Chain A
Amino acid sequence: SQTIHQWPATLVQPVGSPLSLECTVEGTSNPNLYWYRQAAGRGLQLLFYSVGIGQISSEVPQNLSASRPQDRQFILSSKKLLLSDSGFYLCAWSQGWNTEAFFGQGTRLTVV
């Protein structure tokens, strides 16, 4: 069966510090991978998605970047965090377009 792992679960970082959130998927190959951000229990904002190794599409210009060094690994990064980067970050995968998205448990990031 397929599983998705996302870590860490919670993170408190000072303004200006770097960020690295990691997500890995098991039990499937060549998935579509996504990073979403959710503010205060509201809707999901799509940040990045990837259809293959090294391929990244950015939906929103911002202080963040993403990378996909391996087929089932997706990394969200920042060189210098801003207060506005605080939020709940969710990694997800799907097998193709417009199909069910499976989400990780999320990372609660607080920038102080």
Chain B
Amino acid sequence: TQLLKQSPQFLSIQEGENLTVYCNSSSVFSSLQWYRQEPGEGPVLLVTVVTGGEVKKLKRLTFQFGDARKDSSLHITAAQPGDTGLYLCAGGESAGYALNFGKGTSLLVTP
């Protein structure tokens, strides 16, 4: 079972600020996913990255997969209150392994 470490655990910022959250592991992933979860609901997929060095953009969110496919980052530009939530990374080592999730970064964006 891979261990995914996410940092920071908690982040409280004001609207308009930029932020970056990280997901790290000692294992190599065949793919890595980022989810966002709101209280009382299930996580919803934001993006999947599969190639080392890959960068994907989703509006104000930028996702990067490390060259060695062991780590990933999520950068949010000009955060908005609607970005508030729990951000989870999840990785799969290869076929035959279920997705394992990190403990998440809880983000609070205040107006």
Which A residues fall within an 8 A CB radius of B?
A: 32, 34, 36, 41-46, 49, 57, 59, 90, 92, 94, 96-101, 103-106, 108
Contacts and interface: CB of A to CB of B under 8 A. Distances in A.
Given A57-B98, A99-B48, A103-B43, 6 more contacts: A41-B86, A43-B6, A46-B99, A100-B33, A101-B99, A106-B40
Contacts of B90: 44, 101
11 contacts: A34-B98, A42-B86, A42-B103, A44-B43, A44-B90, A98-B30, A100-B48, A101-B45, A101-B90, A103-B43, A104-B42
Interface of B: 1, 6, 30-31, 33, 39-45, 48, 86, 88, 90, 92, 94-104, 106
A16 B101 CA distance: 30
Task: Describe B's contact surface by its main secondary structure.
Answer: loop
Contact of B92 (A36, A59, A98, A108): A98
B43 A59 contact: no
Contacts, number: 68
A97 B29 CA distance: 12
A70 to B, nearest CB: 20
